[in-house]
Amino acid sequence: MVAPVMAALSAASAVAEVADKLSPAALKKTKDTAQQFESVFLTNMFEEMFAGVEEPEGPHSSGPGQKTWRSMLTEEYANTIAKAGGVGVADHVQRELIALQERNR
């Protein structure tokens, strides 16, 4: 039980050391890429979530452009959430990107 925790801690410290060696531009690029990945992930999740929601009735009910507007709305939700800190996916992706850069050196 302790071994996996210790392995994760040592891997995290190794990634932190590599992150310290990266230039600010490279670090920003990995962060932006990870945030974009999280945004795409959240967009897909929201699309699946809204797939089961019934269309409203009334003056704002379904029309020819509703699917387009709904997809734009879900994408904007995802972008906003990812920029505000997200759900934690971007942090893991950024760590993996940094680790991959270190392995490729």
Domain annotation covers residue 57: no
Contact present, 2 and 82 (Cβ < 8 Å): no
Contact present, 40 and 78 (Cβ < 8 Å): yes
**Residues ≥6 apart with Cβ < 8 Å to 102:** 14, 15, 18
54 DSSP assignment:
P
Q: How far is residue 77's CA from residue 56's CA, in Å, rounded to a whole number?
A: 20
| 57-98 pLDDT per residue, tens | 656 666 667 777 888 888 999 999 999 999 999 999 988 888
Closest CA relative to residue 34, chosen from 102, 103, 88: 88
User: Which of the four pLDDT bands, split at 50, 70 and 90, describes residue 100?
Assistant: confident
> Domain range holding 69?
2-51+63-103
Domain annotation covers residue 58: no
Average pLDDT, the chain: 80
Give me the number of domains the chain comprises: 1
Instruction: Judge if pTM exceeds 0.75.
Output: no
Give residue 42's pLDDT.
95
